[in-house]
């Protein structure tokens, strides 16, 4: 399995471009199941999670054709299967998104218990309850879940907890249903109105995407017809990571092809910590401050501080003067990486499963570390770039799930990182 070797301590400088959003691509691709025509999608990142979604789509009869490096055509007119490939779906959390549009199209779907990053409990009852309210029957076995329906109808669904994936999945399910569906306490992440805009352009009737209440007037089973191509929005998580890297090591780093409006919480925290930030239309430039000061963060749903950037920000705070409270409210188990940072020299006190106190600044030292999940893996890359000496980062597959050719892009900034 591939590894990264990293020699830390070098100042970084230059421009780095943000790829298409992983969390948008993994919803747009399943949305192809709602169409009677092929859809063309631009700016798809070349990452492992996208490749696994392609495998799942092809496994049920979709035809995925590469037009260019980041441009694909997805034709789901030949979809017949209802079973998602067990070996992939049970290791890939995003697989559950396919279940909604596949149920809407074929009236039956089987999927195994979905996997993904080990960052705490991520129950799927919120999905199952929504489908039941829309007229589906659920059958659970040791192998997974079978969801079937004779007729999907609109329903009023109030999420007990805000869930991005459930919001998007049930929104797509409702597009082909009979009657009106109302989703309350819906997530508001930018990927949701982006998806809704594309579906509306193709014949769907969705109102309120990007707000806590979304209304969908179903088509009564009539499939959508694509009108033009869809371009994946920039990845705000990746952009946030690169800004944090710039605050830690940047002479000056310009993060290009991003949407600054999606980054306000992260930018505000970086400015509070003393970083110099310059915002332009589609880019943000940042430099390491002379004195990096401590900054508390509390993760929450958009437009709050995004949980996926929490681990890199914690790494940054190991270099800040003072004490920083990191409060993770979205997932339990997402602070487990802190022990590895402590072994690199960080001074981190775990208060409870959701809070750590970071005491800084503390010098980090290179060592062998293993990526436990996607976002902590990228945080370890940043830690290794800060650290004195050489680090080896194992389980690079986790990082490849969400970051396209990350070592090559960091090398262009002057980072000493190699894939072996």
pLDDT tens for 321-372 read: 999 999 999 988 899 999 999 999 999 999 999 999 999 999 999 999 999 9
- Domain end residue (candidates: 197, 231, 265): 231
pLDDT tens for 108-167 read: 999 987 754 444 445 789 999 999 999 999 999 888 899 999 999 999 999 999 999 999
- Domain end residue (candidates: 179, 214, 231): 231
pLDDT (0 to 100) of residue 119: 40
pLDDT (0 to 100) of residue 116: 46
Number of structural domains found in the chain: 2
- Asked if residue 170 has pLDDT above 70, the reply is yes
Strand pairing partners for 391?
Answer: 6
Query: Both 143 and 99 in a single domain?
Result: yes
Query: Both 208 and 246 in a single domain?
Result: no
- Enumerate residues 6+ apart whose C-beta is below 8 A from 219: 175, 176, 203, 204, 205
- Domain end residue (candidates: 181, 208, 231): 231
Query: Both 268 and 411 in a single domain?
Result: yes
Other Cβ atoms less than 10 A from the Cβ of 214: the count is 26
pLDDT (0 to 100) of residue 115: 58
Query: Both 15 and 27 in a single domain?
Result: no
Range of the domain at 110: 22-231
- Asked if residue 284 has pLDDT above 60, the reply is yes
Query: Both 75 and 219 in a single domain?
Result: yes
Q: Which of 46, 25, 38 is nearest to 74 (CA)?
A: 38
Q: Do 356 and 398 contact (CB within 8 A), yes or no? A: no
Torsion region of 220: left, alpha or beta (phi above 0 gives left; psi -120 to 50 gives alpha): left
Q: What is the mean pLDDT of residues 226-238?
A: 96
pLDDT (0 to 100) of residue 93: 80
Query: Both 149 and 241 in a single domain?
Result: no
pLDDT (0 to 100) of residue 123: 73
Catalytic residues: 117
Query: Both 291 and 410 in a single domain?
Result: yes
pLDDT (0 to 100) of residue 142: 87
Q: What is the mean pLDDT of residues 261-285?
A: 97
Query: Both 14 and 52 in a single domain?
Result: no
Q: What is the mean pLDDT of residues 10-29?
A: 97
* Alpha carbons 254 and 38: distance in angstroms, whole number: 36
pLDDT tens for 371-401 read: 999 999 999 999 999 999 999 999 999 999 9
Angle at which helices 236-249 and 310-317 cross, to 10°: 10
Q: What is the mean pLDDT of residues 232-246?
A: 98
pTM to 2 decimals? 0.95
Q: When comparing pLDDT for 333 and 172, which is higher?
A: 172
Query: Both 53 and 112 in a single domain?
Result: yes
Domain containing 60 — which CATH number? 3.65.10.10
Query: Both 263 and 214 in a single domain?
Result: no
Q: Is 261 exposed, middle or buried (0-12, 13-18, 19+ CB in 10 A)?
A: exposed
Query: Both 285 and 179 in a single domain?
Result: no
Q: Do 212 and 183 contact (CB within 8 A), yes or no? A: no
- Asked if residue 103 has pLDDT above 80, the reply is yes
Quickly state the pLDDT bin for 72 (edges 50, 70, 90). very high
Query: Both 392 and 405 in a single domain?
Result: yes
Q: Is 141 exposed, middle or buried (0-12, 13-18, 19+ CB in 10 A)?
A: exposed
């Amino acid at each position: 399995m591939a590894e990264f070797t990293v020699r830390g301590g070098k100042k970084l400088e230059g421009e780095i471009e943000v790829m298409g959003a992983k969390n948008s691509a993994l919803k747009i691709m399943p949305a192809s199941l709602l169409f009677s025509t092929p859809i063309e999608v631009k700016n798809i990142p070349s990452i492992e999670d996208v490749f696994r979604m392609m495998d799942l789509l092809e496994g049920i009869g979709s035809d995925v054709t590469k037009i260019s490096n980041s441009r694909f055509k997805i034709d789901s007119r030949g979809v017949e299967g209802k079973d998602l490939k067990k070996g992939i779906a049970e290791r890939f959390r995003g697989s559950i998104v396919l279940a909604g549009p596949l149920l809407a199209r074929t009236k039956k779907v089987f999927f195994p218990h979905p996997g993904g990053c080990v960052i705490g409990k991520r129950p799927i009852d919120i999905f199952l309850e929504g489908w039941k309210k829309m007229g589906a029957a659920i059958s659970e076995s040791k192998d997974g879940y079978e969801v079937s329906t004779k007729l999907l109808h609109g329903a009023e669904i109030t999420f007990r907890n805000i869930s991005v994936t459930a919001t998007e999945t049930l929104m797509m399910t409702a597009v082909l249903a009979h009657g009106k569906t109302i989703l309350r306490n819906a997530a508001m992440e930018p990927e949701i109105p982006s998806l809704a805009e594309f579906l509306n352009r193709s014949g769907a009737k969705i109102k309120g995407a990007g707000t806590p209440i979304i209304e969908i007037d179903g088509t009564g089973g009539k499939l959508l017809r694509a009108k033009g191509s869809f371009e994946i929005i920039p990845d705000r998580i990746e952009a946030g990571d690169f800004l944090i890297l710039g605050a830690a090591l940047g002479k000056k780093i310009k993060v290009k092809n991003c949407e600054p409006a999606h980054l306000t919480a992260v930018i505000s925290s970086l400015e509070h910590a003393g970083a110099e930030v310059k915002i332009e239309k589609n880019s943000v430039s940042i430099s390491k401050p002379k004195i990096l000061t401590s900054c508390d963060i509390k993760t929450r749903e958009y437009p709050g501080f995004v949980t996926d950037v929490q681990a890199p920000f914690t790494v940054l705070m190991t270099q800040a003067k003072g004490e920083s409270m990191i409060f993770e409210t979205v997932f339990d188990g997402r602070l487990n990486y802190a022990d590895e940072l402590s072994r690199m020299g960080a001074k981190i006190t775990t208060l409870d499963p959701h809070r750590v106190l970071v005491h800084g600044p503390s010098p980090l030292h290179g060592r062998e570390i293993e990526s436990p999940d996607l976002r902590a893996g990228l945080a370890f890359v940043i830690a290794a770039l800060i650290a004195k000496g050489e680090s080896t980062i194992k389980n690079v597959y986790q990082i490849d799930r969400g970051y396209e050719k990350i070592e090559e892009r960091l090398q262009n900034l002057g980072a000493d990182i190699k894939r072996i």
